[in-house]
Amino acid sequence: MHVNEVLAEIKGKEQMPAEQVFKNIRMYKGMPAQRLLAIMNRGFSNSLGVSCSHCHVVGDYDKEDKPTKQIARDMSGMVTTINGTLLKNIKNLKSTDPTINCGTCHNGRARPGAGNAAMRAGAP
């Protein structure tokens, strides 16, 4: 499994800040390297129902080969705006701290949303 390959490469540096361990960290500066890999695995791959190769050429993780990698950063920014601003401005919600994440929309699908074929066909 790809996470284990990367973990083997960074052995001894798991708790160091991601930007000191990896080459091209823009978004997750300060995050322990091992935690970044957990996000790659569960937060991204599992939530979207994809493998690492959806956003990376496997092995060349620092490169910007695929547009999906930057889309993931932009989606993250969207999630921050929704959680930090938009949800907070909706009055009378039942949760005290209503929060969404990638899985809330994607729920195992690479392309959620009203524009895709399954949604047009009326699937939930």
Kindly report the length of the chain.
124
Identify whether the C-beta of residue 29 lies closer than 8 Å to the C-beta of residue 89: no
Binding status of residue 3 toward ligand HEC by CB under 6 A = yes
Name the amino acid, one letter, at 27: M
Under rule CB under 6 A, which residues in 84-113 are in contact with ligand HEC? 100, 102, 104-106, 110-113
Show the CA angle centred on residue 122, arms to residues 112 and 72, nearest 5°.
5
Contacts (CB under 6 A) with ligand HEC, residues 11-50: 22-28, 40-41, 44-45, 48, 50
Selection from 64, 22, 114 nearest residue 55 by Cα = 64
Q: Which residues bind ligand HEC (CB under 6 A)?
A: 2-3, 6, 22-28, 40-41, 44-45, 48, 50, 52, 54-56, 61-62, 68-69, 71-73, 75-76, 79, 100, 102, 104-106, 110-113, 115-116
